[in-house]
A and B are shown apart, each in its own frame.
Chain A
Amino acid sequence: MGRTLSLTERGPATPGRHSDEVVIGISPAFGAFFSKTIVELPHAEVLRELLAGIEEQGMRARVIRYRSGSDLAVIAHTAARYSGSGIGVGVLSRGTTMIHQKQLLKLSNLELFPQAPLLDLETFRKVGRNAARYAKGESPEPVPARNDYMARPRWQAKAALLHIKETEFVTPRAEPVELEVAISLADAG
């Protein structure tokens, strides 16, 4: 039994005006060409947990797709710039995630989860929760970042291939688009 993700484009993304929202920016091929992360976590579940983490904190979430690049810092920062609270989360198809704030320099960040193979659904929930708590002006403890020195040699080749593939879906100069998210249980059998 798994969940399916359906993402419907709803025109160009616009900056939000509500200070209780967090914007999630997904990469060009997230939930489209790709449907799973580097460790086969379904994108439907990843997005669901991020959204749940934000909702549990009583905040709203909006999802946009960044189309003109596959650089996580740029995606996360764009999400933050479009977010009414100034807090955004960026996610790549392979699972690498970052929490960003609009006043920060692009190459900086609030929290970065660089080792995609180590991210599980529980972590994605916590990322959503922390992003929402930053948006509320609270001081959350950073999500404990796991680190495995073997992850790099073991996954680097696959990560590189996934990155090359993701980059193929980049549309130069395309504006981010607003997405409507529907996550439903797939019919058994």
Chain B
Amino acid sequence: MLVVGVDIGNSTTEACVAELGTGPAVYLGSALARTTGVKGTTENVHGAERAIRAALTEAGRGMDELATVLVNEATPVISGLAMETITETIITESTMIGHNPDTPGGAGLGVGTCVAFAELPGRVAGEEVVCVIGTGVDFEDAAAGINAATARGVVVTAAVVCADDANLIVNRLGRPVPVVDEVTLIERVPLGMRAAVEVAEPGRTIRTLSNSYGIATVFELDAERTRMIAPVARALVGNRSAVVVRTPAGDVTDRRIPAGSLTLHGERGRRTVGIAEGAEAVMATVRGIAPVIDAHGEPGTHAGGMISQVRDTMSELTASPVDEVRIRDVLAVDTFVPQRMTGGLAGEFALENAVALAAMVRTSQGPMALLAEELRRALGVEVRVGGVEADMAVLGALTTPGTDRPLAVLDLGGGSTDAALAAGQVHSVHLAGAGDLVTKLIDAELGLDDTELAEQLKQHPLAKAESFFQLRMEDGTVRFRDEPLPTECFARVVVLGEHGFLPVPTSHPVEKIRNVRRSAKHRVFVVNAVRALERIAPGGDLRGLGFVVVLGGSALDFEIPDMIAEALAPYGIVCGTGNVRASQGPRNAVATGLVTAHAARPAEAAR
């Protein structure tokens, strides 16, 4: 008897074909297709049909030979994402230019009164000035003007330039001074005020203006004033160049946006936690009341906005009223987002703190019977709905060589991280946050605004094209090529994708992208893996789990399974990526489980 097991997942639909006889099931072929529509709806029929036909083709069998199609009881959970920044850096009265032009000129610290370039001839000998060079001044003229002033005895200690001219000017000065360039809004630099300009040697960072007491020394500030400029110093840490202008009321504030609070209802009570307290506090609260029954955000705040955003998307997807959507799990992740500083003079960016929320929503039981009926009509074959997804996943995972009960399954998907433990009966949990959240974090933290690119960066390792024939891999090894790289890859960071090399159109170095990628995966998958296993482990102790089999699309990732294995190493568990039927890797577990369960059934009935 020929049967097909079909697993409809959030993003992929998997199928496997098997021949059932007197002995164990003989697997003939497997296939996967993209899930059409929202999981658990009748729109899934097209994807399911495609996967079934592909599996049959691989097996070399026809649709007319097929006896039964087995479909899993799709877990009625879907997930949503939201992200909000919770801090904001505001510069008032143009106190600071903290941007990092690529090529500042000179080196050292210069302090003086801000004087426009045109006013330079009017200054008297002995005066200490910082020359402010606006638009339209040629670099040769600028250098000649400064040299002339210096010859008259005016002490030009530094310069601030609008154009990208710093080195061109410094190279033409009799006595080089620090010069900061590319200050786009130079007309807003307050003239007549005292300013300090600092440029560090290449490869170093500024030392004086990034230190509160350094600024206090330069401007002779008292304790009270020093307290006020402390945020300026903090904002300049790590820069190669900076300008600080002392204005009477100038200030930089590092404001925490009132982010609001999250109220979590759980089986063990109800608690409220402020989003601004950070992800750790939110997650501690979730752990305290878990499992979550519902969550609400404070209306009119970011927290409220995020939760209602998730609710709206979910109600739209499931076509159910907004107030019937129940949030069953929340994962909060700390992140940072590059944002343009309000009030900056040179388009300065600051990394603002942000919180990303993933929420898991339980939908009303999907119309599985309807789906089965549609599928039967499309294929003309008997369709059986049966088997809870988690049970089937465990059965499928057990076909991995070297596993035994008690066996825990960790299913890393796109929208959710699921875990199930088979010890007697199967116990399972579904947690919010998985691959999609990682993509979102990478997108936001690198300031890409390109989900496709973020997805590529998540899935593949990086390299730097050092020449047309030489690639330096992210681990430092070099790979030589016989064929030249495409021109658009030259000198760029490239993603080693399946379809060749994809240039990354940002100026982030390889190390930065790699760090963001790995940390995003860590914050989502490692955190969720431990959280999920704690929830299903007997007594919450991970040591009670014997074997952990990692399944799902994200288990195919080149580093996530290793990161999880590393995190679980201290508990003495056997943890690894599944290899369903010793051939399918972490894929096809549920489909295989469906067939296994079906094959066992007649035997039980015969007894």
Contact = CB atoms under 8 A, between A and B. Distances in A.
A139 B466 contact: no
Contacts of A104: 468, 484, 487, 490
Contact of B167 (A58, A108, A110): A58
Nearest to A111: B487
A133 B467 CA distance: 14
Interface residues of A, number: 22
A155 B533 CA distance: 71
Nearest to B506: A139
A4 interface: no
B491 interface: yes
B407 to A, nearest CB: 47
Contacts of A103: 467-469, 484
Contact of B166 (A56, A101, A125, A137): A56
Contacts of A138: 491, 507
A109 interface: yes
Nearest to A101: B490
Interface in A116-156: 125, 129, 133-134, 137-141
Contacts of B164: 56, 125, 129
Contact of B491 (A58, A105, A125, A139): A139
A133 B491 CA distance: 9
A139 B490 CA distance: 8
Contacts of A20: none
Interface string B345-384: 0000000000000000000000000000000000000000
B484 A56 contact: no
B168 interface: yes
Contacts of B515: none
Nearest to A87: B491
A138 B505 CA distance: 12
B490 A56 contact: no
B440 interface: no
A42 to B, nearest CB: 14
B584 interface: no
Nearest to B503: A139
> Which of B166, B167, B466, B492: most chain A Cβ within 10 A?
B167
Interface in B299-358: none
Contacts, number: 49
A134 B490 contact: yes
B198 interface: no
A92 interface: no
Contact of A141 (B166, B171, B484, B507): B507
A137 B103 contact: no
B491 A134 contact: yes
A52 interface: yes
A103 B486 CA distance: 12
A185 to B, nearest CB: 8
A56 B165 CA distance: 6
Nearest to B486: A108
B139 interface: yes
A133 B492 CA distance: 12
Contacts of A57: 102-103, 167
A127 to B, nearest CB: 13
Contacts of A140: 491
A134 B466 CA distance: 10
Contact of A55 (B167, B466, B487, B493): B167
A35 B341 CA distance: 46
B167 A139 contact: no
A133 to B, nearest CB: 8
Interface in B165-206: 165-168, 171
Contacts of B505: 141
Interface string B457-495: 000000000111100000000000000100100111100
Nearest to A86: B467
A34 B509 CA distance: 43
Contacts of B168: 52, 55-56
B349 to A, nearest CB: 16
Contacts of B493: 139
A56 B467 contact: no
Nearest to A52: B168
Contact of A110 (B466, B484, B490): B490
Contacts of A133: 102
Interface in B134-180: 139, 164-168, 171
A140 B468 CA distance: 16
B169 to A, nearest CB: 9
B103 A108 contact: no
Nearest to B166: A56
Interface in B226-264: none
A43 to B, nearest CB: 17
Given A58-B103, A101-B468, A52 B139 contact: yes
A141 B467 CA distance: 17
> Which of B139, B165, B490, B507: most chain A Cβ within 10 A?
B490
Interface string B490-525: 111100000000000101000000000000000000
Contacts of B103: 56-58
Contacts of A105: 484
A84 B40 CA distance: 63
Contacts of B167: 55-58
A129 B103 CA distance: 11
Contacts of B166: 56
A134 B467 CA distance: 10
Contacts of B469: 103
A139 B171 CA distance: 25
Contacts of A108: 487
> Which of A56, A105, A138, A141: most chain B Cβ within 10 A?
A56
The 10 residue pairs across chains A and B that have the minimum distance between CB atoms:
A103-B468, A139-B492, A56-B167, A139-B491, A56-B168, A134-B491, A52-B168, A108-B487, A56-B103, A55-B168
Interface of B: 102-103, 139, 164-168, 171, 466-469, 484, 487, 490-493, 505, 507
15 contacts: A52-B139, A52-B165, A52-B168, A55-B167, A55-B171, A57-B102, A86-B467, A101-B468, A103-B468, A104-B468, A105-B484, A110-B487, A125-B164, A129-B164, A134-B491
